[in-house]
Chains A and B, each alone.
Chain A
Amino acid sequence: MSSVVDLDIRTVERFLYREARLADEHRYEEWEALWTDDALYWVPAGSDDADPMTRMSVVHDNRNRIATRIKQFRTGRRHSQIPASRLRRVVSNVEVLDEAVGEDVVVEANFVLVESRERGTHVWAGRCTYRLRLVDGELRMSYKKVALVDNARVLPTMSFLI
């Protein structure tokens, strides 16, 4: 099945880099605005493809819960992000997959993210799957799955936007 939207790789990369930068810099409203109304933000636990309807996930947010997560940061009392983690991630190995979900283009990319907090520095890494869609001429994401390389192991607190 070919995509209804024809996106060149540079356009896709620009979107992914911007999404990464907004998350790294805790620019919550701008990050939230990247989502479509039917959003799903998923970080599986235990394996990359554990069924989120019957198995625990680290994050499994619909659009409403993404909004709640953002509002919680904005209260100024989300203690696990006070002070906010210092973050920088590298996004690479970007591939536009030869498949589509409805009108969405499916894209995958690897990431390596360094988090610095008082407890120490932690390296997070994994592969993300995005579904991207053109909405009123702007690129949006309807789906972001973050398959952490260590999702079956013990994790420290991860209360930032990954």
Chain B
Amino acid sequence: MTHADTRARYDELVQPERVHGSLYTSPEVFADELARIWYSTWVYVGHVSEVAKPNDYVRKAIGPQDVIMSRSADGEVHLLLNRCAHRGNLVCEAAAGNSSSFRCAYHGWTYRNSGELVGYPFHQGYGGRGKLDLGLGRVPRVAVHQGFVFGSFAPDGPSLAEHLGDAAGEIDRLVRLSPEGEIELTAGWLQHRARANWKLLAENETDGYHPQFVHASIFSVAESGIGALYGEKSSAVTRAFGHGHSENDLRPEFRRLGAPLGWFGTTEERMPGYVAAMRAAHGEAAQEILVEGAPHVMIFPNLFIAEIQMFTIQPLAHDVTVQHVTAVQLKGAPEMNRRMLQQCVGSVGPAGLLLADDTEMYERNQVGLGELRPEWVDVRRGSHREHVDERGHTVGGATDETAMRGFWAHYRELMTR
């Protein structure tokens, strides 16, 4: 098929209120997505706190592509392809570490942690020392917002700021929960495999319709107030930011409650050190920050911040996705961090009281979608009651599929470009 043919095809497969099931089940669609989304748009890769010291490195990924996130001695963060420029061997085997260079085990080629080739054995074979100008491949564009490192394989295109748009403000809302204005990802990652298409995960992250059903078991036994946030009577909203980003904005409910740290299921009295540090750092604004809490935002295509948890979605094939998850840690807030970690561990990952059931749903969805009878998936919920807010974003009710429609509108744009 020519490019024009496939453009017309995606125009047809993604419609405003329904999408075609083959988008989740076709290896050809997945190959197109790698080219037009994962290797074109901005993708979240890692956080600067994961390479805190000079010469720190960590292995990351953009889709199936192995990427090394390194910090050179001058403090700059690099995204390098984990592939020797000579014969393609991995140059970095360890998951993380500290080194000023990477050395290929196959023929001993050595690269600086900023990607330049520094040496190769038996140089006469290349006409003498310094004659080769091969370096490690690199992600052409790297940009950082509040310590969140994004990469884009497209050498040109919208800036990260343009890509994030107003969704950047949600990252800002997260970091201002730290008395020092920074988060850290230092707790390591759980890696949870779903035999399902990555878009099922991305859609579900801000789907406010499912929690009361998928998570009824834990809501009922843990006496959580979360279920009520996603009900027909909730004043929370779902917002599509454009560029495929979306959020469940729970602030109306938390404001109604008016209790500092109510969003986190605790009280000021139980977190006295944190509350004092926040009031010292933010003055009068602290009250609002403590009441409104953390964002619940999906940044297209792969970063999901669920209050105290951070997820990255990594697609490996049309029907295999890895969800990486860690607890957000707030710089300067040790008592909050202990509790955030333990809550996060209870909720997410392969044995999580919440997420194991989401993953079950993704996998059952994938099985059902494979049937392709009927062919279409419906995403019309709430489209008759949406409105556009003062910033120009589409807003629906707490349980509406406004976020999903925003995701698909952007998907269609990228896939038909």
Contact = CB atoms under 8 A, between A and B. Distances in A.
A54 interface: yes
B338 A53 contact: yes
A58 B359 CA distance: 15
Contacts of B217: 72, 75-79
Given A71-B221, A75-B216, A154 B193 contact: yes
Contacts of A158: 350-351, 356
B190 A56 contact: yes
B186 to A, nearest CB: 7
A77 B188 contact: no
B29 interface: no
Grouping DSSP codes into helix (H, G, I), strand (E, B) and loop, the A interface class, with mixed when no group exceeds half, is loop
Contacts of B350: 58, 155-159
Interface residue range, chain A: 35 or more
Interface string B164-191: 0000000000000000000000111111
A157 B350 CA distance: 4
Contacts of B349: 45, 56, 58, 155
B36 interface: no
B341 A54 contact: yes
A68 B221 contact: yes
B192 A54 contact: no
Nearest to A44: B188
Contacts of B113: none
A156 B322 CA distance: 9
A75 B227 CA distance: 16
Contacts of A58: 190, 349-351
B225 to A, nearest CB: 16
A27 interface: no
B353 interface: yes
A152 B346 CA distance: 18
B327 A75 contact: no
Contacts of A154: 191-193, 322
A121 B368 CA distance: 20
B351 A68 contact: no
B357 A60 contact: no
B152 interface: no
Interface residue range, chain B: 35 or more
Contact of A54 (B95, B186, B214, B221): B186
A57 B343 CA distance: 11
A10 interface: no
B214 A45 contact: no
Contacts of A157: 192, 350-351, 356, 359-360
B222 interface: yes
Given A54-B186, A60-B342, A155 B353 contact: no
Contacts of B190: 45, 56, 58, 155
A154 B316 CA distance: 12
B326 interface: yes
Nearest to B322: A154
A44 to B, nearest CB: 10
Contacts of B192: 154-157
Nearest to A120: B195
Interface string B353-392: 1001101110100010000000000000000000000000
B345 interface: yes
Contacts of B359: 80, 157
Contacts of A75: 216-217, 220-221
Given A46-B189, A80-B359, A154-B193, 10 more contacts: A45-B188, A45-B349, A54-B187, A54-B341, A58-B190, A58-B351, A59-B345, A75-B217, A79-B360, A158-B356
Interface of B: 95, 186-193, 195, 214, 216-218, 220-222, 322, 325-327, 338, 341-342, 344-346, 349-351, 353, 356-357, 359-361, 363, 367
20 contacts: A50-B188, A53-B338, A53-B341, A55-B341, A56-B190, A57-B345, A58-B190, A60-B345, A60-B346, A65-B346, A68-B221, A72-B218, A72-B221, A77-B216, A80-B360, A118-B367, A154-B191, A157-B192, A157-B350, A158-B351
